[in-house]
């Protein structure tokens, strides 16, 4: 099994730590992550996938890195 994602990311606008709550160890493998994320996914109507992220603190948006 690969390394679990700790979702440790910072808002490029305000620098807020967007790491969310810890995920209980016994279900971490379902998510492939040790923590949830506070960033908000903005989907494209056309492509039906997340194309941008939004910071819940400053509402700033940035492009999703693919
Ligand atoms: Zn922010």
Q: How far is the CA of 36 from the centre of ligand 1 (A)?
A: 17
pLDDT digits (tens, 9 = 90+) for 18-34: 999 999 999 999 999 99
**53, 40 Cβ separation under 8 angstroms:** yes
Give the percent of the chain with pLDDT over 90: 82
Q: How far is the CA of 62 from the centre of ligand 1 (A)?
A: 10
- Number of helices and strands in the chain (H, E): 1, 5
Q: Is the pLDDT of residue 63 over 70?
A: yes
Answering whether pTM is above 0.75, one says yes
pLDDT at residue 7, as a whole number:
95
CA distance 43 to 53: 9
Q: Is the pLDDT of residue 1 over 60?
A: no
Q: Domain spans of the chain?
A: 19-63
């Amino acid at each position: 099994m690969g390394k679990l994602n700790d979702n440790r990311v910072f808002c490029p606008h305000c620098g807020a730590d967007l790491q969310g709550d810890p995920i209980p160890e016994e279900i971490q493998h379902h998510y492939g992550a040790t923590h949830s994320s506070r960033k908000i996914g903005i989907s494209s109507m056309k492509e039906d996938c997340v194309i941008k992220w939004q910071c819940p603190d400053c509402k700033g948006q940035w492009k999703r890195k693919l």
